[in-house]
Structure 1
Amino acid sequence: MPKTRHRVVVTQRFFDSATLDFLKHCGCEVIIAELAPGVADGSLSERQLIDLLIDADGWILGHANVTASLLGSLPRLKVISRRGVGYERIDTVAVEAAGKVATIAVGGNDASVADHTIALMLAVCRKLKQCQAGLSANDWSIPLGGDLYRKTVGIVGLGRIGKGVLLRLAGFEVKPLIYAPRPDSSQKANGGQSCFVDLETLFQESDFITLHAPLNPQTRGMIDSRALKSMKAGAVLINTARGGLVRDADLLKALQQEDIAGAGLDVFESESDPSLSAVTEQLIKLPNVVVTPHAGASTVEGLNRTNLIAAQCVVAVLEGRSPPGHCVIADGRRHTVAKENT
């Protein structure tokens, strides 16, 4: 085993031994942050993060906020590696300006989230929440559910996870409707040219609507009161992407007024805006809403895959190499070289 050359701090739980061994074999000292139960790195203050990372060369993180101020306090840090794919909390401009590298773990949890999406669809339409609640109260009456089989399913976004959901839905013989702002040839081949529709058509005709779009200024709040009112009364909304895609207060009202039939939610606006926690609590209590705690990617296999990809990106940067291009979201090393040459 090579002599330890680099220090890597991990601020995520469920870091597997095989990935830990990989990092050690590559000459890394690994520090796994001991977070209090129920606390994730996304809720840590800047001061807490600095205390954890002041001597780190590499950082494997979850949902922590990566800001210019934080990076300015961590001159030794070279690489920020997200164990996951969403990176709206990472200031990529600040990463580049600081001469550091930021990566995401592309491909590690796609299958896990796609599986979870189908699970939520079935749980809502088969009224599993009501079934369990009834049996817990010794009520054996049967809530009448519905089928996913041969329904129209609208898929908003056809990236890696959206494609995985489409593949899984084939077994249910559904009619897919796909919205992608700028579909490329590979997406059209995967989804079929005739399946692509505009967003308004997708909302109006789908029995199930599942969100797989990134969160950005164009998509934030795309599911609002207007969009919800355009959906079928029997429609089911599934969100395993990002909470900010849906205006949760509008969704709550639509469900209470029976404008749509139900929802399956793995993410909430309150994850990034605690002032909306009361809305989340009300959604959780509704009988026709099945919820999970942003757990779509959290399988043993999925986390092991994303752990390794994140670790491989860290090692590549610390050894002076480039991580896979599809994993890099910011690379400021060229700015550092340019400054040194001026």
Structure 2
Amino acid sequence: MKKVLVTSRSFGKTSPKPFAVLEGAGIEYTLMGGDFDEEKFKEVISQYDGLIIGAHPFYPEDMARCKHLKIIAKHGAGLDNIYLEDAKKLGIRVTNVPAMNANAVADLAFAHILNISRGISITNERVHRGAWETFIGKDVFEKTLGLIGFGAIAKNVARRARGFSMKVLVYDPFVTEIPEEFQDFVTLTDLNTVTENSDIISIHVPLTDSTKHLFDKERIMKMKKEAYLINTGRGGIIQEQDLYECMKNGHLCGCAVDVMEHEPMEKDSPLLELENFVVTAHIGMYSIEAISAVSVVCAENVAKVLNGEEPRFVIV
């Protein structure tokens, strides 16, 4: 019987369907997501034919020991924790699940925009501490939203922005034309124009050599002093020490993120000193609908590869 190891902690959390897919294909599965231990993972991964992986890294030296491994199915879209060239050399298929969590992440990004602009979580925390205080926030209506990246998630954020009569500026070096649906309120432009003219900037790009620390001190200081920075993309795109120093010195009205360069976030991070820094624990895709859809696709892809069929969303 073929065996698959599941290290994503959210796989199958909201529906039994993905487990039924694996069982129907005659595949035995082991769940390691809830109590993931890296040393245990290294010890046992070579025994498996398939891997449904979460956010933890899968290093080349461990991959090389996996003589039976046929597929690595990423439970989500981001691939920065998987060494793709090594997988390709070893003949291991790699798949992901793009776009199916696009509404969930876009909802969270826009929730962060509204929250940080109106001080919702800030005043909630104050009231819990016994302080009934006024907070003067800012309207989101008719502001300029800058989007870094214009993939499926960013497009969904733009659709939500339209309901608030926002002007949208987009920087994406891989996009040459804005689809007709967006042309009356979205403008494709360069990074400096987006940085300097947006009231709110929302990041929606993968972590690559070209995007790592894209928002460093120099970039952040080009933003409007009263602007907000949102990141539901990948940790590491913002240089966190630079962010802290800029915010500490009064540059930016606030920042809200769902991702950090190191997760879990360090408990002694100086960013936690700042009331106008809001962080959620990488919950972007954690909606009932998104988790169910992503889990089913992962299970189907594993079943297809292990039964000699072609999977969906092949990366290598």
| Matched positions, count | 312
User: Would the aligned equivalents of 2:10 and 2:33 in 1 still touch at CA under 8 Å?
Assistant: no
Q: So what's the TM-score if we normalise by structure 2? A: 0.93
55, 59, 64: which is aligned to 1:72? 64
171, 192, 198: which is aligned to 1:206? 198
153, 158, 172: which is aligned to 2:164? 172
Partner of 1:14: 10
Q: Give the alignment's Cα RMSD to 1 decimal.
A: 1.8
Partner of 1:328: 314
Partner of 2:24: 25
> Which runs of no fewer than 5 residues in structure 2 stay unpaired?
none
Specify the code of the residue in structure 2 equivalent to 1:192: Q
Deviations 1:254-308 (A, max 9, x none): 111111110011111223xx8x8367x3213311111101111111221111111
1:277 maps onto 2:263 in alignment: no
SS across alignment from 2:163? helix
211, 235, 240: which is aligned to 1:248? 240
Deviations 1:68-124 (A, max 9, x none): 211121111111101011111111111011111111112221111000000101110
281, 289, 308: which is aligned to 2:277? 289
1:192 maps onto 2:156 in alignment: no
40, 43, 52: which is aligned to 1:48? 40
Specify the code of the residue in structure 2 equivalent to 1:12: S
User: Would the aligned equivalents of 2:232 and 2:258 in 1 still touch at CA under 8 Å?
Assistant: yes
293, 299, 306: which is aligned to 1:318? 306
Specify the code of the residue in structure 2 equivalent to 1:277: E
Partner of 1:302: 290
CA distance in 1 between partners of 2:60 and 2:262 (Å): 24
CA distance in 1 between partners of 2:55 and 2:67 (Å): 21
Partner of 1:94: 86
User: Would the aligned equivalents of 2:146 and 2:200 in 1 still touch at CA under 8 Å?
Assistant: yes
Specify the code of the residue in structure 1 equivalent to 2:286: S
Specify the code of the residue in structure 2 equivalent to 1:91: Y
Quote the offset at 1:137 in angstroms.
2.5
CA distance in 2 between partners of 1:230 and 1:68 (Å): 39
Q: Percent identity?
A: 29
Partner of 1:336: none
SS across alignment from 1:89? coil
Quote the offset at 1:134 in angstroms.
2.1
Structure that is richer in helix per residue: 1
1:62 maps onto 2:62 in alignment: no
> Which runs of no fewer than 5 residues in structure 1 stay unpaired?
331-342
CA distance in 2 between partners of 1:95 and 1:84 (Å): 18
